[in-house]
Amino acid sequence: MSAPVTSTPLQHTTVLLNEAVDGLLGGAGPEPAGTWVDATFGRGGHSRLILLRLGPQGRLVAFDKDLEAIAEATRITDARFSIRHEGFRHLADLPAGSAAGVLMDLGVSSPQIDSPERGFSFRFDGPLDMRMDTTRGESVADWLATAEVGQIAEVIRDYGEERFAGPIAKAIVARREERGPLATTAELADLVAGAVKTREAGQNPATRTFQALRIFINAELEELQQALEASLTVLQPGGRLVVISFHSLEDRIVKQFIAKHSKEVYDRRAPFAAPQAMKLVALDRIKPSAAEVAANPRSRSAIMRVAERTGVSL
């Protein structure tokens, strides 16, 4: 069943707001024209500042698969703005060379985390859902109701980097066989706490498991890889790619993607052939300031990478 859209006004503080927009629009002039992309609208902090900075001929296209994000986007009445109810892998649907810049903020918004009915957090008891798009796909509870021990352990280990993945998976299946499937976030958090023998200082023992299941159920890393590849096609020469990640798995993908396309590629089978020219130039790596982290502790793990598309055709 789809989770209801919450009516509770929850606040969200956009991470690296000015830094991201400066990185995106850098070099575009005082009144940028062209089409710009906010690939992860969230609660619209980046989009609103981009619109303030764009000229009258500028356009902003946003993507998000969260219904609450789409509802928030309807509050923007600027004719230069449009949003698509799609994940950001659908960047590939935009015309080649059509974007002057692409921004991806990979964080989960505070309203998503703080809404019990979404099931993203172990801090609130609610349905074990975790879907970004509650209109499609199976919830975490649905998946855990049928998944095998090996599958669950693999997900928790690979996406959560959790060394107790095996015991956690066995506990989930044992609970399912004894008392029925897990249905709430509190049930899962309590079960994980009993299976994790060594706790990291200052971190709830369920943190890595919740992260892993959220990433898996939303295919977040696969979608990120697809969106990055699509950005190479949709960015015009000189267009900027700005990506804000919040954990090592995401940042590793972004870092390796930029590094891969920021160097010439030689074909070992044809040693005298001209190398394939690089497609990106890495420009910057930025972390939140101490002041931002103090004001918004959820920003502490953020890393922003900026790259620029070269004139090389694909």
Predicted model pTM: 0.89
pLDDT of residue 172: 98
The count of other CB atoms within 10 Å of the CB of residue 277 is 12
230 and 89 in contact (C-beta within 8 Å)? yes
Residue 59 shares a structural domain with residue 71: yes
CATH number at residue 184: 1.10.150.170
Q: pLDDT, tens digit, for every residue of 99-157?
A: 999 999 998 877 777 788 888 888 889 999 999 999 999 999 999 999 999 999 999 99
Residue 25 shares a structural domain with residue 170: no
Average pLDDT, the chain: 90
| Separation of CA 289 from chain center | 21
- Show which of 217, 239, 263 is a domain's final residue: 217
Looking at the domain assignment, is residue 260 inside a domain? yes
Residues of the domain holding 277: 17-110+220-309
Strands of 235-245's sheet, edge to edge? 81-84, 58-63, 34-38, 99-105, 235-245, 303-309, 280-286
Looking at the domain assignment, is residue 1 inside a domain? no
- Show which of 192, 217, 242 is a domain's final residue: 217
Residue 46 shares a structural domain with residue 181: no
Report the pLDDT averaged over residues 261-279: 67
Q: List the structure tokens of 128.
A: 């074990």
User: Residue 199 phi/psi, 5° resolution?
Assistant: -105, 140
Residue 22 shares a structural domain with residue 103: yes
Q: List the structure tokens of 63.
A: 């993507």
pLDDT of residue 11: 63
Report the pLDDT averaged over residues 271-293: 84
| Separation of CA 290 from chain center | 23
Residue 205 shares a structural domain with residue 229: no
Looking at the domain assignment, is residue 122 inside a domain? no
Structural domains counted in the chain: 2
| Separation of CA 309 from chain center | 21
Residue 73 shares a structural domain with residue 143: no
For residues 255 and 10, which has the higher predicted lDDT (pLDDT)?
255
Residue 101 shares a structural domain with residue 224: yes
Q: pLDDT, tens digit, for every residue of 184-222?
A: 999 999 999 999 988 777 788 999 999 999 999 999 999
- Give the three-state DSSP class for 100: strand
- Show which of 217, 248, 279 is a domain's final residue: 217
Looking at the domain assignment, is residue 116 inside a domain? no
Confidence of residue 264 (pLDDT cuts 50, 70, 90): low
pLDDT tops 50 at residue 295: yes
Share of the chain above pLDDT 90, in %: 78
Of 30-34, 129-133, 207-211, 309-313, least confident by mean pLDDT is 309-313
CATH number at residue 290: 3.40.50.150
- What span, in angstroms and rounded, lies between the C-alpha atoms of 84 and 4? 20
Q: pLDDT, tens digit, for every residue of 40-92?
A: 999 999 999 999 999 999 999 999 999 999 999 999 999 999 999 999 999 99
Looking at the domain assignment, is residue 206 inside a domain? yes
pLDDT tops 80 at residue 27: no
